[in-house]
Amino acid sequence: MKATHFGAGNIGRGFIGEILHENGFAIDFVDINETIIDALRKRNSYEIELAAQEKTHITVDQVTGLNNQKEPDAVIDSVATSDIITTAIGPNVLPIIAELIAKGIQKRRQEGNQTPTDVIACENMIGGSQILLEKVRTYLTEEDLTYVENTVGFPNAAVDRIVPIQQHEDPLFVSVEPFCEWLVDDTQSKAKQIRLDNVGYVSDLAPYIERKLFSVNTGHATTAYTGAHYNYQTIGEAIADERVLNQLKAVLKETGDLLINKWDFPREKHEQYIEKIVERFKNPYISDDVSRVARTPIRKLGYDERFIRPIREAKTYGLSYQALVDVVAMILQYDEPSDEESVRLQEMLKEKDLTEVIQDVTGLTDNTIIEEIVEKAGSN
Ligand SMILES: NC(=O)c1ccc[n+]([C@@H]2O[C@H](COP(=O)([O-])OP(=O)(O)OC[C@H]3O[C@@H](n4cnc5c(N)ncnc54)[C@H](O)[C@@H]3O)[C@@H](O)[C@H]2O)c1
Ligand SMILES: O=P(O)(O)OC[C@@H](O)[C@@H](O)[C@H](O)[C@H](O)CO
């Protein structure tokens, strides 16, 4: 069995690689990072360490690397011959790799491969695989589209494991938190012959992806942007400050109330889920940079993303969302020179009126919410 995985970065090597490996897959990692690709090619294996007192090690072997910029044909061949295709490359990069995935699918069809497969986007976003499918479609013929309809699934997924930026002598070594969860929408899967161990196949992903994105990621981002507001460099330092912890708890109360109302999660169970998340953020064996968790602030301010969507929905349920608005105001102030989106956001704020920037970046049309954000941002 073989997998093609796009994105040999932190979560790609630190989680998706582990699961595919333990399920018996050889893995072609596709990336543009030459150091990582060369090392994968040379060594065909790498080590994962669990960031806990015991420091358990896992060896992932039968792996190699392909550079999509330098050897696109090899990537197309890999997609054409793999049993499963996965990505963990970042939502902004999905449109860039869509053409190669499309050409790989086209080649599968031309070679008469009728075995169903799945393309699973393991990104922090709602509807990631289906959004990728929309991009892939634009490169396909009618004949290819019929083939996709019959044999290629694009099941949405939710993946959860904190994997910080890695700074080791070995470029492939990756230290990860012990906790992990990977859920796939079974109704969108076509490769029914492949059921991965330690992956949950669910009949409705919506409650799970919303619970993950609006608890883990909204909470993580809250810790990061509030931490940046108080000049902290790491999540561990930030969460040790009561002001940050209180902001985190207030935000998770708001998204928790929304999730409980919307999806009927039992309150007690949800509170336990939140407690566990807060403990995960405090993991003393992990050092996670505020700048990683706060990365790409324009993306994180998106209409369906971790702040604006819960704000919009909390309002329709008549629930409080003021703590979320507080964080949105802090994101607008987030000034990190190494982050292209932060730089762009700060330039936009210099060139345009605040209301206009909020409308452009968030896609919001609700004037009440926009005014609440403007008022909060103005008072910071
Ligand atoms: N790190 C985590 O804790 C975590 C957990 C769950 C989900 N995710 C999600 O997984 C995705 C990847 O996150 P990450 O933390 O692993 O990021 P990362 O930066 O470590 O990995 C992304 C990889 O994609 C590669 N890449 C970028 N542009 C490319 C291109 N044009 N072509 C080929 N490769 C390209 C980079 O070189 C890098 O190796 C994101 O969507 C993120 O939200 C991350
Ligand atoms: O990857 P992002 O930029 O969407 O979000 C940053 C972190 O919150 C995220 O990577 C978490 O570590 C991860 O989602 C935990 O499962």
> Which residues of 163-312 form beta strands (DSSP E)?
174-176, 181-185, 200-202
What is the residue with the minimal CA distance to atom 16 of ligand 2? 160
**162 CA closest ligand 1 atom index:** 3
Average pLDDT value for residue range 61-72:
98
CATH classification of the domain holding 34: 3.40.50.720
Q: Choose which residue among 4, 5, 6, 11 to substitute to test ligand 1 binding: the one with the highest number of ligand atoms within 8 A of its C-beta.
A: 11
Percent of the chain with pLDDT over 90: 99
CA of 197 to the centre of ligand 1 (A): 23
Residue 166 CB–ligand 1 contact under 6 Å: no
Which amino acid, residue 71? E
Tell me, what's the pLDDT at 379? 79
For residue 90, which ligand has an atom nearest its CA?
1
Sequence-distant (≥ 6) Cβ neighbours of residue 188 within 8 angstroms: 129, 130, 153, 154, 155, 156
**293 CA closest ligand 2 atom index:** 6
Contact 83, 115 (CB under 8 A): yes
Contact 158, 183 (CB under 8 A): yes
Q: Are strands 57-61 and 45-50 parallel, antiparallel or unpaired?
A: antiparallel
Report the alpha-carbon distance of residue 350 to residue 302 in Å, rounded: 20
Statement to judge: residues 26 and 175 lie in one domain: yes
CA of 366 to the centre of ligand 1 (A): 33
CA of 180 to the centre of ligand 2 (A): 13
Report the alpha-carbon distance of residue 335 to residue 98 in Å, rounded: 31
CA of 128 to the centre of ligand 2 (A): 14
Report the alpha-carbon distance of residue 356 to residue 361 in Å, rounded: 9
Sequence-distant (≥ 6) Cβ neighbours of residue 54 within 8 angstroms: none
Report the alpha-carbon distance of residue 122 to residue 56 in Å, rounded: 24
Statement to judge: residues 96 and 194 lie in one domain: yes
Statement to judge: residues 250 and 331 lie in one domain: yes
Residue 33 CB–ligand 1 contact under 6 Å: yes
Average pLDDT value for residue range 107-127:
97
- pLDDT digit string, tens, across residues 301-351: 999 999 999 999 999 999 999 999 999 999 999 999 999 999 999 999 999
Statement to judge: residues 198 and 214 lie in one domain: no
CATH classification of the domain holding 341: 1.10.1040.10
Tell me, what's the pLDDT at 380? 73
Q: Domain total for the chain?
A: 2
What is the residue with the minimal CA distance to atom 1 of ligand 1? 163
- pLDDT digit string, tens, across residues 192-202: 999 999 999 99
CA of 122 to the centre of ligand 1 (A): 10
Statement to judge: residues 56 and 138 lie in one domain: yes
Residue 329 CB–ligand 1 contact under 6 Å: no
Q: Choose which residue among 89, 156, 174 to substitute to test ligand 1 binding: the one with the highest number of ligand atoms within 8 A of its C-beta.
A: 89
Statement to judge: residues 184 and 246 lie in one domain: no
Q: Show which of 185, 203, 221 is a domain's final residue.
A: 203
Statement to judge: residues 197 and 211 lie in one domain: no
Residue 123 CB–ligand 1 contact under 6 Å: yes
**Known binding-site residue numbers for NAD(+):** 3-14
Residue 88 CB–ligand 1 contact under 6 Å: yes
Sequence-distant (≥ 6) Cβ neighbours of residue 275 within 8 angstroms: none
Residue 32 CB–ligand 1 contact under 6 Å: yes
Statement to judge: residues 67 and 153 lie in one domain: yes
For residue 160, which ligand has an atom nearest its CA?
2
Average pLDDT value for residue range 32-40:
98
Statement to judge: residues 226 and 370 lie in one domain: yes
Tell me, what's the pLDDT at 221? 98
Statement to judge: residues 245 and 331 lie in one domain: yes
Q: Show which of 186, 203, 220 is a domain's final residue.
A: 203
Instruction: Enumerate residues lining ligand 2, CB below 6 A.
Output: 124, 160-162, 216-217, 220, 293, 295
Could you tell me the residue range of the domain that residue 142 belongs to? 2-203
For residue 92, which ligand has an atom nearest its CA?
1
Statement to judge: residues 179 and 228 lie in one domain: no
Tell me, what's the pLDDT at 324? 98
Statement to judge: residues 302 and 167 lie in one domain: no
Report the alpha-carbon distance of residue 32 to residue 41 in Å, rounded: 13
Average pLDDT value for residue range 75-85:
98
Average pLDDT value for residue range 243-267:
98
CA of 9 to the centre of ligand 1 (A): 5
Q: Model confidence at 225, in pLDDT bands (50, 70, 90)?
A: very high
Tell me, what's the pLDDT at 119? 98
Q: Show which of 203, 229, 252 is a domain's final residue.
A: 203
Q: Model confidence at 217, in pLDDT bands (50, 70, 90)?
A: very high
Rounded to whole angstroms, what are the CA distances from 36 to 44, 61, 245? 11, 15, 36
Tell me, what's the pLDDT at 378? 83
Report the alpha-carbon distance of residue 368 to residue 370 in Å, rounded: 5
Average pLDDT value for residue range 105-113:
98
pLDDT at 92 over 90: yes
Residue 177 CB–ligand 1 contact under 6 Å: no
Average pLDDT, the chain: 97
CA of 357 to the centre of ligand 1 (A): 27
